Amino acid sequence: MQIPKVMKVKQIAPQPEVKDVYQESLAEWKKSGLSSIINKGSSVAIGVGSRGIANLSQIVKAAIDYFKGIGAVPFIVAAMGSHGGANSKGQRELLGEYGVSEDKLGVPVKTDMDSTVIGTNSWGEPVYWDKNALAADAVVTISRIKPHTDFRGNYESGIAKMIVIGLGKREGASQHHRWGFKGLRDMLPETAKVILEKTKFLGGLAVLENAQEKTARLEFVSKAKLMEVEPKLLEEARGLMGRLPFKALDLLIVGEIGKNYSGAGIDPNVVGRLLIEGENDFEFPKIIRMCALDLSPESHGNGTGVGIADLTTDRLLQKIDPVPFRMNNLTACFLWRSKLPISFPNDHECIKAGLETCWQPNFEKIKMAVIPNTLEMAELYISPALEEEARANKDLKIVGGYEPLHFNPEGNIDQKALFPHSVQGRRSGTH
């Protein structure tokens, strides 16, 4: 089986972008009005999660500088539920990789996993909250607003989810996930109401990102306006998020999967496969076959979402650490997504199997795309069968001509060379 030649295309739709993230973050905190209600010497817990938010260290530093500037005593508290293996060391390491550490920021970083029951929600379920946050004089969060990978609702990934699941620690995360998507879509807002009533949470900085994963907008949302404002920000974020520019593909090749790209490893909002028990997939895009080639080192062995792909490589499966992998998936209770696909010794064999099983026996008509991951799709590669559709799309620009996919002697793609602007390329120092 031949592998089609590919041509690079760029997504060029204009994107809103914050030019000076630190100063804009600082300005939002100054507009928050918190200086009038937080006394000098008060401790302030700043909740920070495990997602790969663009410019996160700058955003966190601005928050720290603001609270220090009003005479408060800020510290960081991990707000990531059961991520990082559901242990303090793992969560500290995750934060450190995003530039959130005591050495770099000059404030304590608390990653203890202890939680306290602070009340009961309308479902009759206990409400858990981080002990360090509970002991602070004030609590705020830094939260990216983004469509969730598991469900559709008024409150998906954002401030409400962070105060419920992130600061709920392992117990809060397990409690909501064991109800499946109903625990996230329907029970989560009810738990949030208890937290808003019974804790010293004052509000959160909402971070919206554009399709190129750059900071698009920053807005402080107060406790009083959270339940009203967050759904509006979610719809705005939905319109900004990156997507595949094609509604149907015979084969999608994903260079890397991982928790740093999506909570689901492979973002269902991008590939159209929800893969949740009892729920339907999204209408678009329709992808017949999907290959996942590698697992990002930033995932620390958590191969969650590998089952969203159909085919994979031996090296990806060998990189999965069963401890965080099982912990995350048994906590999330979405098990279909992490069933292990058929694997092959290298990329070439995996892609060849994808082409042979993609239900398009006419080689010239195979619609194939190659992306580095499901977070960064500003640049991608396409096969000739997609050229006409690409040329008709005003938001796509064709770059260069066709060339074969290059494989090294081991039969693997050099992803650093193929996608120099991606996480893979930046990791190697080539960009």
Strand pairing class (368-371; 379-382): antiparallel
Looking at residue 151, its pLDDT comes to: 80
- Examine the fold and report which residue of 218, 240, 262 is the final residue of a domain before the chain moves on: 240
Structural domain boundaries enclosing 360: 243-428
* pLDDT 10s digits, 13-23: 999 999 999 99
Average pLDDT score, the chain: 94
325 found inside a domain: yes
- Provide the pLDDT confidence category of residue 213 given band limits of 50, 70 and 90: confident
Structural domain contains residue 134: yes
Identify which of 169, 171, 206, 172 has the alpha carbon closest to the alpha carbon of residue 191: 172
Given 175, 210, 240, the domain boundary residue is 240
**352 and 231 in one domain?**
no
Residue 30 and residue 160 share a domain: yes
Residue pLDDT, tens place only, 44-65:
999 999 777 989 999 999 999 9
- 431: pLDDT strictly greater than 60: no
For the chain, what is the domain count? 2
* Residue 406 in domain: yes
The residue that leads in pLDDT, 348 or 212, is 348
Identify whether 4 is part of a domain: no
| pLDDT value of position 428 | 59
In a domain, 11, yes or no: no
Q: Tens digits of per-residue pLDDT, 387-409?
A: 999 999 999 999 999 999 999 99
In a domain, 16, yes or no: no
Taking CA 268 as the corner, what is the angle to CA 14 and CA 128, rounded to the nearest 5 degrees? 105
283 lies in the same domain as 421: yes
Query: Are 117 and 199 found together in one domain?
Result: yes
Looking at residue 341, the DSSP 8-state letter turns out to be P
Nearest to 176 by CA among 333, 4, 62: 333
**Domain final residue, candidates 240, 259, 287:** 240
The partner residues of 313 in beta bridges, in order of sequence, read 344
Say if residue 73's pLDDT is above 70: yes
Q: Are residues 206 and 283 part of one domain?
A: no
Q: Residue 68 has what pLDDT? A: 98
Which two three-digit tokens encode residue 279? 């729920």
Same domain, 410 and 269: yes
178 or 351: which carries more pLDDT confidence?
A: 351
CATH code for the domain of 159: 3.40.50.11440
Q: Are residues 250 and 234 in the same domain?
A: no
Q: Which helix (H) or strand (E) holds 74?
A: strand 73-78
pLDDT in tens, 285-319: 999 999 999 999 999 999 999 999 999 999 999 99
Is the model's pLDDT at 335 over the cut of 90?
yes
pTM summary value: 0.82
> 205, 162 in Cβ contact below 8 A?
no
Residue indicated by tokens 């962070």 = 162
Write out pLDDT tens, residues 171-188: 999 999 899 889 999 999
Please check whether residues 216 and 249 belong to one and the same domain.
no
